[in-house]
Amino acid sequence: MGEMVKSKKHKRILLKVSGEALRGQGSFGQDLVVLEYITNEIISIKKKGVQICMVVGGGNFLRGKQFVRGSLIKHATADYMGMLATIMNALAMKDALNSLGVKAKIFSAIPMHTVCEPYSRSGAMEALENGEVVIFAGGIGNPFVTTDTVSVIKAIEMDCDMLLKGTQVDGVYSADPKKDKRAKVYKNIKYDEVISKNLGVMDLPAVYIAKEHCLPIVIFNLHQKGRILKIVTAGIARPENFSLIS
């Protein structure tokens, strides 16, 4: 069991939201009710003076790996398609934030000047200091890299205090709690244990990179109202209904 991280005021966080979360109960695309809910959750922590970075997945439109086996479409091409899906979600997220009075800026690793800015660290840092929510899209511009790994890389690159990964469950489990009622939840867990047990809560390359740079990762249920605010304002010393990887 990992040692607890001391509580502190968080100045800057990165929030990872899956494309599947944006889909809501639908089978495809974006659920506007869910989009508005996530936007309001973001607003609640922004009011506390926290600077916010985001990475949004693209699984509500397509997942690159669905094309990999026995397909005419190359793995690299499928991954590029997935990156474009993240840009569509980033555009929706930006408009939702703007509609509720929050300035936001998209930085894409894939140049797409007509809809968003090409990524630069200096530009993203300037936007954060100006009070804008910064949304990273297009992965890192290369195939074979998941949005989990992108999230860790961007959190480290942007000097974030922690990475919050919003999921469908309230923490790291020993097995899928939807399939195994005996699954155990870990409140505090070390990077090495996640890796050795191959727990599957994040892609292993993401965990390795987080470990190397001592980036705390909080896994929580995105659909529990007020959960993000509680994590950020109370610190992460006492996990309650979420798990801390450190």
Model confidence, pTM: 0.91
Higher pLDDT, 130 or 70: 130
Average pLDDT over residues 59-75: 77
Domain 12-245 has CATH 3.30.70.270: no
d(CA 241, CA 227): 9
Higher pLDDT, 85 or 64: 85
pLDDT for res 236: 60
Q: How confident is the model at residue 26 (pLDDT cuts 50, 70, 90)?
A: confident
Q: Residue 147 — φ and ψ, nearest 5°?
A: -70, -20
Answer yes or no: is pLDDT of 182 > 70. yes
Q: What confidence tens digit (pLDDT) does each residue in 99-142 have?
A: 999 999 999 999 999 999 999 999 999 999 999 999 999 999 99
d(CA 30, CA 10): 30
pLDDT for res 177: 83
Percent of the chain topping pLDDT 70: 91
pLDDT for res 64: 66
d(CA 241, CA 64): 31
pLDDT for res 69: 65
Answer yes or no: is pLDDT of 237 > 60. no
Higher pLDDT, 71 or 178: 178
d(CA 42, CA 245): 22
Q: Which residues contact 200 (CB under 8 A, 6 or more apart)?
A: none
d(CA 39, CA 163): 17
Q: What is the DSSP letter of 198?
A: T
pLDDT for res 235: 62
